[in-house]
Amino acid sequence: MAELNGERAGVLRERNCARVIQALRRQGLASRTDLARVTGLSRTTVGSLVAELHARGLVLEEADGRRQGGRGRPPVLVRLDPAAGVAVGIDFDHDRVRVALADLSSTVLAEDCVEIDVDHSASDAIDAALEILAALQASAGVGDAQIVGAGVGLPGPIDRRTGTVGSAVILPGWAGLPARETLAQRLGMSVQVDNDANLGALAEFSFGAGRGLSDMVYVRLGSGVGAGLVLGGSLHHGAVGLAGEIGHVQVRTDGAVCRCGNRGCLETVAGDAAIRALLRPARGHDVSRQEVLELVAAGDLGTTRVVGDAGSAIGRVLADLCNAVNPEVVVVGGELSEAGEPLLAAIREAIDRYALPGAAEVVKVVHGELGERAELLGAVALVTRGTAALALIEEETFVSFGGAVGADSTARRPAGRREVLHAEAS
Ligand SMILES: [Zn+2]
């Protein structure tokens, strides 16, 4: 019995450590008093937890520069030691793979990108990611033991119950693949997988245009049309990870057949391929995405009109979404968002026209602040903060962090995480 109580006390202490770490991830620099307030723990408990984290090499202490010169000792502030571990972020888009190494403050240490057909062979795409990762580790001098985990973005819906790619038509080479398990085995580390639009949402919410807000819609306009929803401060995935798939909302009953098998989906009207197909006859050749952006920037009337019409169709669907979830901001990201104001103005106008006046009044439509790296930064954030922070506490799986201090490579494999067990099974 006493042993059991001891075990419980250990779990409780680890959870409280995770709470302090989570607070430091959010606050950056904090005094012990701040930490007690934010975590709801007593000042004494916080003091003892900080001492433990300090001994484990996870936090640094520094004097509060703002208070020097006053009477008495300046208060000591605590922050996470960014050097305590390295996070891997991998973003698979349809036609390229990006990989980044970041410290635990989410500062990117090294990143690279290669163009490859991701859709048709998961194994080739994973090989490419591994190759980039090895090169980045070599150039940044990061050893395997320093890596605490990887966040991975995929351009299709992920069934969160299984970590499996849910749709054969959207990502044919990955359909039914247990992506999280496969990636954990290949990378040899703890892996979290999410849909790319969700990661863009997480990044803009954590570091970009959605900072400090709690209800946000992120629309990703790239090769597809998708959205990530932040509701009440958390990413919303839905029952099987399909929340935010606005590209497949039907907007024309007799429209073109979509890759999902339905007709007249938003993507067939306002997606990248649809925009380029509309421009082809007038331009007399296949128009690339880059060329679309250049034509809009040069003020080409036809291209600006086509992009504006796409914005209207997207805004019409977003108007219904605004009625449904009442966001404070719609952040427009993805490569096509570089079309800028002609696109954003059309989205804004459609929301103003079709959403409930109260919902339309409150919502701002803004350009993403993180550009085409949003999804990659979101993948990093999966490891360093974001949803993982709360999940860590809920799952009592403190902490992919714990191992960062130990030279022993088994130390970075916290017990009880399913994806980690998969990694060990390899
Ligand atoms: Zn569709």
List the pLDDT tens digit at each of the 426 positions of the chain. Answer: 555 577 777 778 878 888 888 788 777 788 999 899 989 999 999 999 999 888 877 888 888 766 555 566 677 899 887 777 889 999 998 889 999 999 877 889 999 999 988 887 888 999 999 999 999 999 999 998 888 889 999 988 888 777 788 766 667 788 888 888 999 999 998 898 999 999 999 999 988 999 889 999 999 998 889 999 999 988 999 988 889 999 999 999 999 999 889 999 999 999 999 999 999 999 999 999 999 999 999 999 999 999 999 999 999 999 999 999 999 999 999 999 999 999 999 999 999 999 999 999 999 999 999 998 999 999 999 888 643 333 333 333 333 333 222 223 333 333 333 222 222 222
| Ligand 1 centroid – CA 39 distance (Å) | 44
Contact 129, 99 (CB under 8 A): yes
Integer Cα distance of 45 and 26 in angstroms = 20
- Within a 10 A sphere around the Cβ of 214, how many other Cβ atoms? 13
Integer Cα distance of 322 and 176 in angstroms = 32
Integer Cα distance of 201 and 217 in angstroms = 7
Helix/strand/coil for 198: helix
| Ligand 1 centroid – CA 255 distance (Å) | 11
Contact 222, 334 (CB under 8 A): yes
| Ligand 1 centroid – CA 90 distance (Å) | 26
| Ligand 1 centroid – CA 414 distance (Å) | 40
DSSP E strands in 216-343: the ranges are 216-221, 225-231, 234-236, 329-333
| Ligand 1 centroid – CA 335 distance (Å) | 20
CA angle 135, 192, 425 (to 5 degrees): 80
| Ligand 1 centroid – CA 199 distance (Å) | 21
Contact 180, 153 (CB under 8 A): no
Integer Cα distance of 173 and 400 in angstroms = 30
Six token digits for residue 201: 């949402």
pLDDT of the residue at 3: 54
| Ligand 1 centroid – CA 10 distance (Å) | 50
| Ligand 1 centroid – CA 246 distance (Å) | 9
- Within a 10 A sphere around the Cβ of 374, how many other Cβ atoms? 31
| Ligand 1 centroid – CA 226 distance (Å) | 11
pLDDT of the residue at 107: 84
Integer Cα distance of 13 and 43 in angstroms = 15
Helix/strand/coil for 299: coil
Q: Give me the residue label for tokens 């509309």.
A: 278
| Ligand 1 centroid – CA 257 distance (Å) | 8
DSSP E strands in 173-285: the ranges are 191-195, 216-221, 225-231, 234-236
| Ligand 1 centroid – CA 302 distance (Å) | 26
Pairing of strands 234-236, 225-231: antiparallel
- Within a 10 A sphere around the Cβ of 25, how many other Cβ atoms? 20
| Ligand 1 centroid – CA 155 distance (Å) | 14
| Ligand 1 centroid – CA 167 distance (Å) | 11
| Ligand 1 centroid – CA 266 distance (Å) | 7
| Ligand 1 centroid – CA 261 distance (Å) | 6
| Ligand 1 centroid – CA 322 distance (Å) | 21
- Give the distance from CA 231 to its chain's centroid: 14
| Ligand 1 centroid – CA 249 distance (Å) | 7
Residues in a beta bridge with 102? 87, 108
Where is 319: in which H helix or E strand?
Answer: helix 301-325
Integer Cα distance of 282 and 346 in angstroms = 22
| Ligand 1 centroid – CA 377 distance (Å) | 27
| Ligand 1 centroid – CA 285 distance (Å) | 26
Contact 93, 196 (CB under 8 A): yes
| Ligand 1 centroid – CA 267 distance (Å) | 7
Please report, to the nearest 10 degrees, the dihedral formed by the alpha carbons of residues 373, 60, 34, 66 taken in order: -90
| Ligand 1 centroid – CA 291 distance (Å) | 25
| Ligand 1 centroid – CA 243 distance (Å) | 14
Integer Cα distance of 24 and 6 in angstroms = 27
pLDDT of the residue at 119: 80
